[in-house]
Amino acid sequence: MNILLSGGTGYIGSHTCTELLNAGHSVVTFDNLSNSEEKVNDAVVRITGKPFKFYLADMLDMDALRVIFEENTFDAVIHFAGLKAVGESVQLPLKYYHNNITGTLNLLSLIEEYHVKSFVFSSSATVYGDPASLPITEDFPLGTTNPYGSTKLMIEQILKDFYAANSGVSISILRYFNPVGAHESGEIGENPKGIPNNLMPYIAKVAAGQLEALNVFGDRYPTRDGTGIRDYIHVVDLAIGHLKALEKNADTTGVHIYNLGTGTGYSVLEVLRAMEAACGHTIPYKIAPPRSGDIAACYADPGKAQKELGWAAERDLKQMCEDAWRWQKKNLNL
Ligand code: NAD
Ligand code: WQD
């Protein structure tokens, strides 16, 4: 297949690009590099041995997007591009709505015009808000608590409306749980700018001595050790989920929604211990107040993806930490 990736130099985009190339697909990517670097493309070529076309383009720039669709023919588009920092979205809601929503509308208008039949969208478990029970299935009530999450929910609705008017297309909405880890080569991984917001990159920087101590946000949650529980999923497993979604799209039409998680939740302290085992030394931490907007626990029922896509996460927490640590060590100067 010929596949376009928006946000292709980003964390999940670059891992998916790698898996697509390894599987023999032809890939074109674009990114405005607002949260990634062009050298990621060289790393993907080093892993796969396969070149691919990259466009430096902003999805808010229709002319730049049109060039990509004029110069190539696509069987499918996987849409990763977007801003994703929850806290920043509260401070800068208009920036998030404009970038994520307008950017998606631009992309969809070209998909319609150039008759691309298959679309995969990066949604998030954040659309479930604070779930009433666990594990979370795809039919749980939806609701969000921040503008970032609202952009995901709004785009899901836009995609349903888009399908209603374009009944020949097939759309997969993938609700990711907590992607972590890195490619086992250590060539690509998560490279957040500034101080990380998310747990795994923060712990990795503490482990490397670049940050003083992990702040554990709350130890009084109603969980087994009082710290927050999440469904961490290895980014390579997540990437492979996109290949499965493309196969599903090729066989059908409609809007298909899947949780991509492992189905197992780990607490903050369990992740910390697993990272200590991976790096071979203790990692300092202190208990801090709960972070505003956080929920106690969240993990997926991934049964629908297993049944309909034939996909299940295979990499465990140990491998997530070992791969994150290998990436961190290789990139101490990032
Ligand atoms: P990322 O920031 O590493 O990648 C997103 C890429 O999109 C970046 O390279 C950025 O430069 C690019 N981008 C942003 N706005 C753009 C624009 N206007 N035009 C062109 N490129 C643009 O993030 P990621 O972790 O790889 O996330 C990919 C997608 O998955 C995002 O849509 C994100 O919301 C979603 N998601 C991520 C997580 C997570 O925890 N990482 C969880 C759930 C969903
Ligand atoms: C995980 C756990 C924290 C940092 C976010 C987004 C979500 C999705 C994935 C995009 C929680 C605790 C964290 C730290 C800590 N992204 N923690 N100290 O909040 O589950 O999800 O990323 O769609 O939308 O909200 O992930 O990694 O930030 O936190 O104690 O320094 O680690 O309280 O329990 P979260 P996270």
Please write the tens of the pLDDT for every residue from 67-103: 999 999 999 999 999 999 999 999 999 999 999 999 9
Alpha-carbon distance 19 to 236, whole Å?
Answer: 8
pLDDT band at 331 (very low <50, low <70, confident <90, very high): confident
Active site residue 97: no
> Distance of CA 165 to CAs 159, 160, 172, Å?
10, 9, 16
Name the phi and psi angles at 26, rounded to 5. Answer: -100, 130
pLDDT band at 333 (very low <50, low <70, confident <90, very high): low
Protein residue with least CA distance to atom 11, ligand 2: 228
Cα–Cα–Cα angle for 332, 333, 334, rounded to 5 degrees: 95
Atom of ligand 2 lying closest to residue 290 CA? 33
CATH code, 2-180+232-261: 3.40.50.720
Q: Which ligand lies nearest to the CA atom of residue 199 in the structure?
A: 2
Enter the tokens of residue 280: 């071979």
Q: What is the pLDDT of residue 192?
A: 83
Protein residue with least CA distance to atom 14, ligand 2: 199
Q: Which residues contact 295 (CB under 8 A, 6 or more apart)?
A: 129, 130, 131, 228
Q: Determine whether the shortest distance from the Cβ of 80 to ligand 1 is under 6 A.
A: yes
The single residue listed with the structure tokens 């466009």 is 55
Question: What Rg do the C-alpha atoms of the chain give, in angstroms?
Answer: 19
Alpha-carbon distance 152 to 104, whole Å?
Answer: 10
Alpha helices, DSSP H, located in 49-102: 62-71, 86-91, 93-96
Q: What is the pLDDT of residue 191?
A: 86
C-alpha 245 to ligand 1 mean position (Å)? 18
| Strand 254-260 to 170-176 pairing | parallel
User: 300 in helix, strand or coil?
Assistant: strand
Q: What is the pLDDT of residue 334?
A: 55
Enter the tokens of residue 161: 């409306």
Does the pLDDT at position 119 exceed 80?
yes
Q: Which helix (H) or strand (E) holds 177?
A: none
**pLDDT tens digits, residue range 300-315?**
999 999 999 999 999 9
Enter the tokens of residue 187: 């060539």
C-alpha 77 to ligand 1 mean position (Å)? 15
Alpha-carbon distance 283 to 277, whole Å?
Answer: 10
What percent of the chain is modeled with pLDDT above 70? 99
Does the pLDDT at position 332 exceed 90?
no
pLDDT band at 216 (very low <50, low <70, confident <90, very high): very high
pLDDT band at 193 (very low <50, low <70, confident <90, very high): confident
User: 98 in helix, strand or coil?
Assistant: helix
Alpha-carbon dihedral angle through residues 256, 260, 262, 267, given to the nearest 10 degrees: -130
The overall average pLDDT reported for the chain is 97
Give the start-to-end residue ranges of the domains of the chain.
2-180+232-261
Ligand 1 pocket test, candidate residues 33, 34, 260, most atoms within 8 A of CB = 34
Protein residue with least CA distance to atom 17, ligand 2: 199
**pLDDT tens digits, residue range 28-37?**
999 999 999 9
Alpha-carbon distance 16 to 80, whole Å?
Answer: 10
Whether cis (ω within 30° of 0) applies to the bond prior to 135 is yes
Residues with CB under 6 A from ligand 2: 84, 86, 124, 126, 178, 197-199, 202, 214-217, 228, 230, 268, 291, 294
Q: Which ligand lies nearest to the CA atom of residue 231 in the structure?
A: 2
Q: What is the pLDDT of residue 197?
A: 93
Q: Determine whether the shortest distance from the Cβ of 31 to ligand 1 is under 6 A.
A: yes
Q: Determine whether the shortest distance from the Cβ of 60 to ligand 1 is under 6 A.
A: yes
Q: What is the pLDDT of residue 199?
A: 98
Enter the tokens of residue 229: 């529980």
C-alpha 226 to ligand 1 mean position (Å)? 31
The DSSP output letter for 76 is E
Alpha-carbon distance 309 to 302, whole Å?
Answer: 10
CB-CB contact of 81 with 40 (8 Å): no
Q: What is the pLDDT of residue 17?
A: 99
Q: Which residues contact 157 (CB under 8 A, 6 or more apart)?
A: none
Of 227, 222, 223, 221, which is closest to residue 285 (Cα–Cα)? 227
C-alpha 253 to ligand 2 mean position (Å)? 34
The single residue listed with the structure tokens 């009530």 is 141
C-alpha 86 to ligand 1 mean position (Å)? 12
CB-CB contact of 255 with 307 (8 Å): no
